Structure 1
Amino acid sequence: MPDFHIATVEDAYAYYVLVLGISEGIFWHADVAFLREVAANKNAYDSWLQAEREVMRLEAEKRHGKRKKRG
């Protein structure tokens, strides 16, 4: 959940639709409790996905050796 206070509809729209990518239809037609649950689940999913990507990156480095950056 955000580390800031959602005070207005504009704040809520910016966070749920623009930041989290929740559809406008869900935003405008669902109740606030549902939006909070979707946001919590999305945050959990995003954290899991980021951790999985890091594991895959580390495994690839082990298999192929750390590659030098081109520069």
Structure 2
Amino acid sequence: MVCRDNPPADCCRPAVVRAYQEMRGRGQPEKFCLEAAITVYRYHHPSPDNLPPEVMAMVTGWVHDGPRH
């Protein structure tokens, strides 16, 4: 499923956070877990090779804050 900008970019947030948390739960290094989370984001939001710094910050914030209910 590809997210659209309406709703906002956080439509894939649960999948991004889950990928990160599951890898961390298996003892993987932070760097690899964050890369996996970004890969999931990119799956939902196809974009050029370089993600804007705002997207990197957003995904990092998601995985460190956890899922919202």
TM range (shorter): 0.3 to 0.5
Which structure is higher in RCO with an 8 Å CA cutoff and minimum separation 6?
2
Bigger Rg, which one? 1
The alignment's TM-score, normalised by the length of structure 2, stands at 0.35
The alignment's TM-score, normalised by the length of structure 1, stands at 0.34
Greater helix content:
1
